[in-house]
Amino acid sequence: MDSLIAWAAWLEATALGEQMRSSALLYPAVNLLHLLGLVLLLGPMLLLDARLLGAGRSFPLAAVSRTLTPLAVAGLLLLLGSGVCLFAADAGPLAVDRLLQLKLLLIALGIGNALLFRRLWNARLGDWDTYAPLFGRMQAALSLLIWLLVMSLGRLLAYF
């Protein structure tokens, strides 16, 4: 925890932190990019997870995954980059905020769940059109829960 606090203090004191605090346009612009990243991640993830759970069976799962996964990855990368910039503006107090700490933990769990899912199931997604394994469906449901919680915690940070 001490290393996170030290890193946060350093980040807040950088030129990035100073620019994020002092520019009238930079913080709102990065906030909009963060929102775009959220839409690009959550939209495809919600659709893909819903398909993994059995919705839209007329669409082949492998094709849905190939189409939506790159959008979700782009959204995640945009969220991570813009999130660091937004964090830099007020990193010291945010580093000790329990909501942010929980959000970061859930982001790590969400990424870990997605990577594990890809490792376990990616080569067999075509089989899901006839039979979706219970553990895989549980991972899809967990993904939905995690990313909705991440989004909710992100919004709550502005109020608590």
Contact 136, 48 (CB under 8 A): no
Angle at 92 between CA 90 and CA 98, to 5 degrees: 95
How confident is the model at residue 1, as a pLDDT? Answer: 73
- pTM over 0.95? The answer is no
Cα–Cα distance measured from residue 6 to residue 8, given in angstroms and rounded to the nearest whole number? 5
How confident is the model at residue 2, as a pLDDT? Answer: 84
Per-residue pLDDT of the chain (160 residues; tens, 9 = 90+): 788 899 999 999 999 999 999 999 999 999 999 999 999 999 999 999 999 999 999 999 999 999 999 999 999 999 999 999 999 999 999 999 999 999 999 999 999 999 999 999 999 998 988 888 999 999 999 999 999 999 999 999 989 8
Q: Which amino acid is at 47?
A: L
